[in-house]
Amino acid sequence: MTYRFETLQVHAGQTVDPSSRARAVPIYATSSYVFDSAEHAAALFAGELEGNQYGRMHNPTVAAFTERLLALEAGSAGLALSSGQAASTTALLALASPGAQIVFSNELFGGTFSIARKILEPWGCGVSTAAPTMEAITDAVQDNTVAVWLETIANPSCTVPDLAAIAALCQERQIPLIVDNTWGCGGYLCQPLTHGADIVIHSATKWIGGHGSFIGGAIIDGGGFDWANAKFPAMQSLDSRGRSYLTRAEKKPGQTAFSLRAYDLGLFTMGMTLSPYAAFLGLQGLETLSLRVQRQCDTALELAQWLEQQDAVKRVIYPGLPSHPSHETAKKMLRHGFGAVLSFEAKDTATARQFLDRVELASHLANIGDAKTVVINPWTTTHASLNDEAKREAGVSPELIRVSVGLEDPADLRLDFARALQGA
Protein backbone atom coordinates (compact mmCIF):
# COMPACT_ATOMS: atom_id res chain seq x y z
CA MET A 1 0.00 0.00 0.00
CA THR A 2 1.30 3.44 -0.91
CA TYR A 3 0.51 6.10 1.65
CA ARG A 4 0.26 9.82 1.01
CA PHE A 5 2.90 12.39 1.95
CA GLU A 6 1.35 13.43 5.28
CA THR A 7 1.09 9.79 6.39
CA LEU A 8 4.60 8.93 5.25
CA GLN A 9 6.11 11.89 7.11
CA VAL A 10 5.01 10.41 10.46
CA HIS A 11 5.30 6.67 9.77
CA ALA A 12 7.76 5.80 6.98
CA GLY A 13 10.98 4.13 8.00
CA GLN A 14 9.93 2.99 11.46
CA THR A 15 9.33 -0.57 12.51
CA VAL A 16 8.35 -0.50 16.18
CA ASP A 17 11.27 -1.83 18.25
CA PRO A 18 10.04 -5.26 19.46
CA SER A 19 11.82 -5.19 22.83
CA SER A 20 10.83 -1.68 24.04
CA ARG A 21 7.64 -1.15 21.95
CA ALA A 22 8.65 2.56 21.88
CA ARG A 23 6.32 4.66 19.72
CA ALA A 24 8.96 7.31 18.95
CA VAL A 25 12.04 6.14 17.08
CA PRO A 26 14.60 5.45 19.84
CA ILE A 27 17.99 7.19 19.79
CA TYR A 28 20.42 4.30 19.41
CA ALA A 29 23.44 5.92 21.03
CA THR A 30 25.94 3.18 20.28
CA SER A 31 29.14 3.01 18.30
CA SER A 32 29.06 -0.76 17.76
CA TYR A 33 26.89 -3.93 17.69
CA VAL A 34 27.34 -7.39 19.20
CA PHE A 35 27.75 -10.22 16.66
CA ASP A 36 25.82 -13.48 17.11
CA SER A 37 28.79 -15.69 16.31
CA ALA A 38 32.11 -15.84 14.47
CA GLU A 39 30.22 -16.93 11.37
CA HIS A 40 27.78 -14.01 11.69
CA ALA A 41 30.61 -11.47 11.97
CA ALA A 42 32.42 -12.94 8.98
CA ALA A 43 29.25 -12.95 6.86
CA LEU A 44 28.54 -9.29 7.73
CA PHE A 45 32.05 -8.21 6.82
CA ALA A 46 31.99 -10.26 3.62
CA GLY A 47 28.83 -8.43 2.59
CA GLU A 48 26.90 -11.72 2.43
CA LEU A 49 24.53 -10.58 5.18
CA GLU A 50 22.89 -7.19 5.78
CA GLY A 51 23.17 -5.88 9.33
CA ASN A 52 24.76 -3.39 11.71
CA GLN A 53 28.54 -3.58 11.83
CA TYR A 54 29.86 -0.27 13.12
CA GLY A 55 28.38 3.14 13.89
CA ARG A 56 30.29 5.02 11.24
CA MET A 57 28.22 3.19 8.61
CA HIS A 58 25.22 1.82 10.50
CA ASN A 59 22.76 3.18 13.03
CA PRO A 60 19.04 2.29 13.36
CA THR A 61 17.96 5.89 14.21
CA VAL A 62 19.83 7.21 11.17
CA ALA A 63 18.40 4.38 9.06
CA ALA A 64 14.82 5.30 10.05
CA PHE A 65 15.48 8.96 9.17
CA THR A 66 17.00 7.97 5.81
CA GLU A 67 14.10 5.65 4.95
CA ARG A 68 11.54 8.33 5.81
CA LEU A 69 13.27 10.86 3.59
CA LEU A 70 13.48 8.30 0.78
CA ALA A 71 9.73 7.78 1.00
CA LEU A 72 9.06 11.55 0.95
CA GLU A 73 11.30 12.06 -2.09
CA ALA A 74 10.09 8.93 -3.94
CA GLY A 75 13.69 7.68 -4.06
CA SER A 76 15.04 4.16 -4.30
CA ALA A 77 18.25 4.40 -2.22
CA GLY A 78 20.01 7.00 -0.16
CA LEU A 79 22.14 7.95 2.76
CA ALA A 80 22.07 10.55 5.49
CA LEU A 81 25.26 12.47 6.23
CA SER A 82 26.64 14.91 8.80
CA SER A 83 25.69 18.05 6.81
CA GLY A 84 24.28 19.24 3.51
CA GLN A 85 27.84 20.10 2.56
CA ALA A 86 28.94 16.49 3.30
CA ALA A 87 26.10 15.24 1.08
CA SER A 88 27.11 17.49 -1.84
CA THR A 89 30.83 16.66 -1.52
CA THR A 90 30.13 12.93 -1.35
CA ALA A 91 27.75 12.93 -4.32
CA LEU A 92 30.20 14.84 -6.51
CA LEU A 93 33.24 12.73 -5.55
CA ALA A 94 31.24 9.54 -6.07
CA LEU A 95 30.52 10.20 -9.74
CA ALA A 96 33.30 12.53 -10.91
CA SER A 97 36.80 11.68 -12.00
CA PRO A 98 39.80 13.63 -13.34
CA GLY A 99 39.15 14.59 -16.96
CA ALA A 100 35.39 14.75 -16.51
CA GLN A 101 33.37 17.98 -16.44
CA ILE A 102 30.41 19.10 -14.32
CA VAL A 103 27.94 21.84 -15.22
CA PHE A 104 26.63 23.85 -12.27
CA SER A 105 23.87 26.40 -12.25
CA ASN A 106 25.43 29.86 -11.99
CA GLU A 107 22.91 30.66 -9.25
CA LEU A 108 24.55 28.29 -6.82
CA PHE A 109 24.78 27.97 -3.04
CA GLY A 110 28.27 29.28 -2.13
CA GLY A 111 29.27 26.06 -0.34
CA THR A 112 28.68 24.01 -3.50
CA PHE A 113 30.73 26.52 -5.49
CA SER A 114 33.46 26.04 -2.92
CA ILE A 115 33.49 22.24 -3.48
CA ALA A 116 33.81 22.86 -7.21
CA ARG A 117 36.70 25.31 -6.86
CA LYS A 118 38.58 23.79 -3.91
CA ILE A 119 38.14 20.05 -4.53
CA LEU A 120 36.95 19.24 -8.07
CA GLU A 121 39.16 21.63 -10.04
CA PRO A 122 42.46 20.90 -8.23
CA TRP A 123 41.66 17.18 -8.70
CA GLY A 124 41.40 17.69 -12.46
CA CYS A 125 37.65 17.64 -12.88
CA GLY A 126 36.43 20.52 -15.04
CA VAL A 127 33.79 22.89 -13.73
CA SER A 128 31.59 25.15 -15.78
CA THR A 129 28.67 27.33 -14.81
CA ALA A 130 25.57 28.14 -16.82
CA ALA A 131 22.29 29.93 -16.24
CA PRO A 132 19.69 27.33 -15.14
CA THR A 133 17.91 27.43 -18.49
CA MET A 134 17.57 24.82 -21.26
CA GLU A 135 19.53 26.97 -23.73
CA ALA A 136 22.47 27.74 -21.43
CA ILE A 137 22.73 24.15 -20.13
CA THR A 138 22.57 22.75 -23.68
CA ASP A 139 25.50 25.02 -24.63
CA ALA A 140 27.53 24.11 -21.53
CA VAL A 141 27.19 20.33 -21.79
CA GLN A 142 30.16 18.53 -23.42
CA ASP A 143 31.00 14.92 -24.28
CA ASN A 144 32.80 14.49 -20.94
CA THR A 145 30.02 16.02 -18.81
CA VAL A 146 29.21 13.66 -15.94
CA ALA A 147 26.57 15.71 -14.13
CA VAL A 148 24.36 18.77 -14.32
CA TRP A 149 23.70 20.38 -10.93
CA LEU A 150 20.70 22.63 -10.26
CA GLU A 151 18.84 24.02 -7.24
CA THR A 152 15.05 23.75 -7.06
CA ILE A 153 14.78 27.41 -6.02
CA ALA A 154 17.93 29.52 -6.25
CA ASN A 155 19.19 31.65 -3.38
CA PRO A 156 18.32 34.54 -3.15
CA SER A 157 16.96 35.23 -6.67
CA CYS A 158 14.28 32.51 -6.23
CA THR A 159 14.83 31.39 -9.85
CA VAL A 160 12.98 28.11 -10.45
CA PRO A 161 14.47 26.09 -13.33
CA ASP A 162 12.29 23.93 -15.57
CA LEU A 163 13.53 20.67 -14.04
CA ALA A 164 11.41 18.48 -16.33
CA ALA A 165 12.77 20.04 -19.53
CA ILE A 166 16.39 20.00 -18.33
CA ALA A 167 15.95 16.40 -17.08
CA ALA A 168 14.79 15.39 -20.57
CA LEU A 169 17.88 17.01 -22.08
CA CYS A 170 20.12 15.20 -19.57
CA GLN A 171 18.39 11.90 -20.25
CA GLU A 172 18.97 12.28 -23.96
CA ARG A 173 22.69 12.97 -23.34
CA GLN A 174 22.94 10.22 -20.66
CA ILE A 175 24.01 12.68 -17.98
CA PRO A 176 22.67 12.43 -14.42
CA LEU A 177 20.74 15.49 -13.25
CA ILE A 178 21.46 16.34 -9.60
CA VAL A 179 19.07 18.70 -7.84
CA ASP A 180 19.85 20.35 -4.52
CA ASN A 181 16.28 20.24 -3.23
CA THR A 182 16.94 21.95 0.10
CA TRP A 183 14.46 24.71 -0.79
CA GLY A 184 11.99 22.04 -2.03
CA CYS A 185 11.47 21.29 1.68
CA GLY A 186 11.95 17.53 1.99
CA GLY A 187 9.81 16.81 -1.07
CA TYR A 188 6.73 18.69 0.13
CA LEU A 189 7.09 21.54 -2.38
CA CYS A 190 8.95 19.65 -5.07
CA GLN A 191 9.99 16.06 -5.74
CA PRO A 192 12.70 16.48 -8.40
CA LEU A 193 12.86 12.71 -9.05
CA THR A 194 9.26 12.77 -10.27
CA HIS A 195 10.26 15.50 -12.77
CA GLY A 196 13.00 13.23 -14.16
CA ALA A 197 16.02 14.19 -12.02
CA ASP A 198 18.36 11.36 -10.99
CA ILE A 199 19.79 12.44 -7.64
CA VAL A 200 18.49 14.72 -4.90
CA ILE A 201 20.64 16.49 -2.30
CA HIS A 202 19.35 17.96 0.96
CA SER A 203 20.64 20.15 3.69
CA ALA A 204 18.44 18.68 6.45
CA THR A 205 19.60 21.61 8.57
CA LYS A 206 16.87 23.72 6.96
CA TRP A 207 13.16 22.82 6.60
CA ILE A 208 13.56 19.07 7.25
CA GLY A 209 14.81 19.76 10.78
CA GLY A 210 12.77 22.91 10.75
CA HIS A 211 13.80 24.32 14.12
CA GLY A 212 17.38 25.44 13.56
CA SER A 213 18.56 22.79 16.01
CA PHE A 214 21.06 20.56 14.16
CA ILE A 215 23.22 20.18 11.05
CA GLY A 216 22.54 17.27 8.69
CA GLY A 217 22.25 16.26 5.05
CA ALA A 218 21.17 13.51 2.69
CA ILE A 219 21.62 12.08 -0.79
CA ILE A 220 18.63 10.41 -2.44
CA ASP A 221 19.09 8.29 -5.55
CA GLY A 222 16.18 7.86 -7.95
CA GLY A 223 17.56 4.50 -9.08
CA GLY A 224 16.90 4.99 -12.79
CA PHE A 225 20.28 6.10 -14.16
CA ASP A 226 22.52 3.65 -16.04
CA TRP A 227 25.94 3.93 -14.37
CA ALA A 228 27.53 1.30 -16.64
CA ASN A 229 28.44 4.11 -19.05
CA ALA A 230 32.22 4.36 -19.64
CA LYS A 231 32.08 8.02 -18.54
CA PHE A 232 31.92 6.74 -14.94
CA PRO A 233 35.11 4.69 -14.46
CA ALA A 234 34.74 4.91 -10.67
CA MET A 235 31.64 2.71 -10.84
CA GLN A 236 33.75 -0.03 -12.46
CA SER A 237 36.49 0.23 -9.82
CA LEU A 238 36.90 -2.72 -7.46
CA ASP A 239 36.39 -2.68 -3.72
CA SER A 240 38.67 -4.50 -1.24
CA ARG A 241 36.88 -7.76 -2.01
CA GLY A 242 37.38 -7.41 -5.76
CA ARG A 243 33.79 -6.47 -6.63
CA SER A 244 32.80 -3.42 -8.65
CA TYR A 245 30.01 -1.14 -7.48
CA LEU A 246 28.11 -2.14 -10.62
CA THR A 247 28.29 -5.83 -9.75
CA ARG A 248 27.29 -5.21 -6.14
CA ALA A 249 24.30 -3.10 -7.23
CA GLU A 250 22.96 -5.98 -9.33
CA LYS A 251 22.51 -7.99 -6.14
CA LYS A 252 20.89 -5.24 -4.06
CA PRO A 253 17.36 -4.26 -5.06
CA GLY A 254 16.86 -0.49 -5.09
CA GLN A 255 20.57 0.25 -4.75
CA THR A 256 22.67 1.57 -7.63
CA ALA A 257 26.40 1.67 -8.27
CA PHE A 258 26.21 5.40 -7.39
CA SER A 259 24.43 4.91 -4.07
CA LEU A 260 26.85 2.13 -3.03
CA ARG A 261 29.86 4.23 -3.96
CA ALA A 262 28.45 7.28 -2.15
CA TYR A 263 27.97 5.11 0.96
CA ASP A 264 31.49 3.74 0.67
CA LEU A 265 33.05 7.21 0.20
CA GLY A 266 30.88 9.37 2.45
CA LEU A 267 30.48 7.06 5.45
CA PHE A 268 33.00 4.21 5.35
CA THR A 269 35.93 6.20 3.93
CA MET A 270 35.44 9.87 4.88
CA GLY A 271 33.34 9.27 8.00
CA MET A 272 30.83 12.07 7.38
CA THR A 273 28.38 10.25 9.62
CA LEU A 274 25.14 11.78 10.91
CA SER A 275 24.81 11.39 14.66
CA PRO A 276 21.77 9.45 15.94
CA TYR A 277 20.84 12.50 18.05
CA ALA A 278 20.71 14.66 14.92
CA ALA A 279 18.78 11.93 13.06
CA PHE A 280 16.22 11.91 15.89
CA LEU A 281 15.78 15.69 15.55
CA GLY A 282 15.42 15.16 11.80
CA LEU A 283 12.66 12.60 12.39
CA GLN A 284 10.90 14.99 14.77
CA GLY A 285 11.14 17.69 12.14
CA LEU A 286 9.78 15.50 9.37
CA GLU A 287 6.67 14.62 11.40
CA THR A 288 5.39 18.21 11.05
CA LEU A 289 7.04 19.08 7.72
CA SER A 290 3.93 19.63 5.59
CA LEU A 291 2.18 21.64 8.32
CA ARG A 292 5.12 23.95 8.88
CA VAL A 293 6.02 24.44 5.23
CA GLN A 294 2.41 25.08 4.19
CA ARG A 295 2.06 27.76 6.83
CA GLN A 296 5.43 29.28 5.94
CA CYS A 297 4.58 29.41 2.21
CA ASP A 298 1.20 31.00 2.92
CA THR A 299 2.77 33.64 5.16
CA ALA A 300 5.58 34.24 2.64
CA LEU A 301 3.06 35.02 -0.10
CA GLU A 302 1.08 37.29 2.19
CA LEU A 303 4.23 39.11 3.30
CA ALA A 304 5.50 39.45 -0.29
CA GLN A 305 2.22 41.06 -1.37
CA TRP A 306 2.30 43.41 1.61
CA LEU A 307 5.95 44.38 1.05
CA GLU A 308 5.09 45.30 -2.56
CA GLN A 309 2.89 48.08 -1.17
CA GLN A 310 5.56 49.63 1.07
CA ASP A 311 7.22 52.93 0.04
CA ALA A 312 10.55 51.89 1.56
CA VAL A 313 10.66 48.81 -0.70
CA LYS A 314 11.87 49.04 -4.30
CA ARG A 315 11.22 45.46 -5.45
CA VAL A 316 9.99 42.15 -4.03
CA ILE A 317 11.43 38.88 -5.33
CA TYR A 318 9.17 35.88 -4.74
CA PRO A 319 8.11 33.22 -7.31
CA GLY A 320 4.54 33.39 -6.03
CA LEU A 321 4.22 36.91 -7.44
CA PRO A 322 3.22 37.27 -11.11
CA SER A 323 6.08 39.83 -11.41
CA HIS A 324 8.72 37.11 -10.80
CA PRO A 325 10.38 35.79 -14.01
CA SER A 326 9.96 32.18 -12.76
CA HIS A 327 6.29 32.52 -11.77
CA GLU A 328 4.93 30.29 -14.57
CA THR A 329 7.69 27.66 -14.23
CA ALA A 330 7.23 27.65 -10.45
CA LYS A 331 3.54 26.83 -10.95
CA LYS A 332 4.60 23.72 -12.90
CA MET A 333 7.54 22.60 -10.74
CA LEU A 334 6.27 23.38 -7.23
CA ARG A 335 3.16 22.23 -5.41
CA HIS A 336 1.35 23.58 -2.33
CA GLY A 337 3.05 26.97 -2.53
CA PHE A 338 6.00 28.95 -3.81
CA GLY A 339 8.52 28.49 -1.04
CA ALA A 340 9.21 29.93 2.37
CA VAL A 341 11.87 32.43 1.30
CA LEU A 342 11.39 35.84 -0.28
CA SER A 343 13.79 38.68 -0.89
CA PHE A 344 13.21 42.38 -1.20
CA GLU A 345 15.25 45.35 -2.26
CA ALA A 346 14.99 48.24 0.14
CA LYS A 347 14.90 51.66 -1.53
CA ASP A 348 18.58 52.17 -0.61
CA THR A 349 21.41 50.55 1.36
CA ALA A 350 20.79 52.73 4.43
CA THR A 351 17.19 51.46 4.57
CA ALA A 352 18.38 47.85 4.32
CA ARG A 353 20.79 48.40 7.22
CA GLN A 354 18.14 50.17 9.27
CA PHE A 355 15.77 47.24 8.69
CA LEU A 356 18.34 44.69 9.93
CA ASP A 357 19.18 46.77 12.99
CA ARG A 358 15.56 47.46 13.93
CA VAL A 359 13.74 44.12 13.48
CA GLU A 360 12.86 42.60 16.83
CA LEU A 361 10.76 39.54 16.09
CA ALA A 362 12.80 38.45 13.06
CA SER A 363 16.31 37.24 13.89
CA HIS A 364 19.27 38.57 11.93
CA LEU A 365 21.31 35.43 11.19
CA ALA A 366 22.74 33.14 8.50
CA ASN A 367 20.26 30.31 8.16
CA ILE A 368 16.97 29.44 6.48
CA GLY A 369 14.15 27.00 7.22
CA ASP A 370 13.85 27.78 10.93
CA ALA A 371 10.47 27.92 12.70
CA LYS A 372 11.45 31.52 13.49
CA THR A 373 11.64 34.20 10.82
CA VAL A 374 15.24 35.05 9.91
CA VAL A 375 16.62 37.90 7.80
CA ILE A 376 20.00 38.71 6.26
CA ASN A 377 21.73 41.00 3.77
CA PRO A 378 23.42 38.53 1.34
CA TRP A 379 25.73 41.23 -0.17
CA THR A 380 27.70 41.64 3.07
CA THR A 381 27.38 38.08 4.41
CA THR A 382 26.46 34.86 2.55
CA HIS A 383 27.65 36.17 -0.83
CA ALA A 384 30.47 38.43 0.45
CA SER A 385 33.21 36.18 -0.96
CA LEU A 386 32.00 36.73 -4.55
CA ASN A 387 33.14 39.74 -6.56
CA ASP A 388 30.54 42.42 -7.24
CA GLU A 389 29.86 41.19 -10.78
CA ALA A 390 29.27 37.60 -9.62
CA LYS A 391 27.01 38.88 -6.83
CA ARG A 392 24.90 40.84 -9.29
CA GLU A 393 24.80 37.81 -11.62
CA ALA A 394 23.37 35.81 -8.69
CA GLY A 395 20.70 38.49 -8.20
CA VAL A 396 22.35 40.03 -5.13
CA SER A 397 22.46 43.82 -4.65
CA PRO A 398 23.70 45.85 -1.63
CA GLU A 399 20.13 46.76 -0.62
CA LEU A 400 18.76 43.21 -0.84
CA ILE A 401 17.28 41.51 2.23
CA ARG A 402 16.54 37.77 2.25
CA VAL A 403 13.71 36.64 4.50
CA SER A 404 13.15 33.00 5.49
CA VAL A 405 9.64 33.07 6.84
CA GLY A 406 8.85 31.34 10.13
CA LEU A 407 5.72 30.25 11.92
CA GLU A 408 4.85 33.52 13.67
CA ASP A 409 1.47 35.15 13.19
CA PRO A 410 1.67 37.05 9.87
CA ALA A 411 0.16 40.18 11.45
CA ASP A 412 2.98 40.29 14.02
CA LEU A 413 5.56 39.94 11.27
CA ARG A 414 3.98 42.78 9.28
CA LEU A 415 4.11 44.94 12.39
CA ASP A 416 7.76 44.10 13.02
CA PHE A 417 8.71 44.80 9.38
CA ALA A 418 6.67 48.03 9.28
CA ARG A 419 8.40 49.28 12.43
CA ALA A 420 11.81 48.35 11.04
CA LEU A 421 11.16 50.20 7.77
CA GLN A 422 9.46 53.18 9.41
CA GLY A 423 10.84 56.64 8.63
CA ALA A 424 13.22 55.29 6.01
Which of the stretches 7-15, 79-87, 116-124, 353-361 binds ligand PLP when contact is defined by CB under 6 A?
79-87
What's the min distance (Å) between Cβ of 282 and ligand PLP?
A: 11
Q: How far is CA 389 from CA 110, 315, 343, in A?
A: 15, 20, 19
Phi, psi of 366 (to 5 degrees): -100, 75
Length of the chain in terms of residues written? 424
Exactly one of 66, 89, 105, 203 binds ligand PLP (CB under 6 A); that residue is 203
Exactly one of 83, 145, 296, 299 binds ligand PLP (CB under 6 A); that residue is 83
Exactly one of 151, 162, 370, 399 binds ligand PLP (CB under 6 A); that residue is 151
What's the min distance (Å) between Cβ of 80 and ligand PLP?
A: 11
The residues in 381-410 that bind ligand PLP, with binding defined as CB under 6 A, are none
* Inter-residue contact 229 to 198 (CB < 8 Å): no
| Separation of alpha carbons 396 and 380, rounded Å | 10
The count of chain residues that interact with ligand PLP, using the rule CB under 6 A, is 13
Toward ligand PLP, which CB reaches closer, 356 or 374? 374
Exactly one of 111, 211, 302, 336 binds ligand PLP (CB under 6 A); that residue is 111
Residue 204: CB atoms within 10 Å: 30
Toward ligand PLP, which CB reaches closer, 84 or 320? 84
Toward ligand PLP, which CB reaches closer, 102 or 424? 102
Q: Does 161 bind ligand PLP (CB under 6 A)?
A: no
DSSP E strands, 152-237: 177-180, 199-203, 217-221
Amino acid at 10: V
What's the min distance (Å) between Cβ of 380 and ligand PLP?
A: 17
Exactly one of 89, 90, 145, 182 binds ligand PLP (CB under 6 A); that residue is 182
The DSSP bridge partners found for residue 403 are: 342, 375
Are β-strands 77-81 and 217-221 bridged in parallel, bridged antiparallel, or unpaired?
antiparallel
| Separation of alpha carbons 5 and 254, rounded Å | 20
360 CA to centre of own chain: 29
* Inter-residue contact 17 to 73 (CB < 8 Å): no
Closest CA to 197 of 73, 301, 305: 73
Packed helices 410-421 and 349-358: angle between N→C axes, nearest 10 degrees:
130
Q: Does 152 bind ligand PLP (CB under 6 A)?
A: no
Continuous H helices in 96-218? 110-115, 121-123, 134-140, 163-172
Toward ligand PLP, which CB reaches closer, 217 or 339? 217
Cis amide leading into 60 (omega within 30)? no
Q: Does 215 bind ligand PLP (CB under 6 A)?
A: yes
Q: Does 109 bind ligand PLP (CB under 6 A)?
A: yes
The residues in 279-298 that bind ligand PLP, with binding defined as CB under 6 A, are none
What's the min distance (Å) between Cβ of 182 and ligand PLP?
A: 4
What's the min distance (Å) between Cβ of 216 and ligand PLP?
A: 6
| Separation of alpha carbons 270 and 264, rounded Å | 8
* Inter-residue contact 75 to 205 (CB < 8 Å): no
Output DSSP code: residue 126: E
What's the min distance (Å) between Cβ of 110 and ligand PLP?
A: 8
Which of the stretches 61-69, 83-91, 132-140, 233-241 binds ligand PLP when contact is defined by CB under 6 A?
83-91
Q: Does 209 bind ligand PLP (CB under 6 A)?
A: no
Q: Which helix (H) or strand (E) segment is 318 a member of?
A: none
Toward ligand PLP, which CB reaches closer, 296 or 351? 296
Which of the stretches 5-13, 60-68, 78-86, 296-304 binds ligand PLP when contact is defined by CB under 6 A?
78-86
Q: Does 351 bind ligand PLP (CB under 6 A)?
A: no
Exactly one of 73, 107, 180, 416 binds ligand PLP (CB under 6 A); that residue is 180
The residues in 20-49 that bind ligand PLP, with binding defined as CB under 6 A, are none
**Which strand ranges, in their side-by-side order, compose the sheet holding 199-203?**
77-81, 217-221, 199-203, 177-180, 145-151, 101-105, 126-130
Exactly one of 13, 55, 78, 84 binds ligand PLP (CB under 6 A); that residue is 84
Toward ligand PLP, which CB reaches closer, 180 or 198? 180
Toward ligand PLP, which CB reaches closer, 85 or 377? 85
Q: Does 205 bind ligand PLP (CB under 6 A)?
A: yes
Closest CA to 51 of 64, 35, 39: 35
Residues that bind ligand PLP (CB under 6 A): 83-85, 109, 111, 151, 155, 180, 182, 203, 205, 215, 217
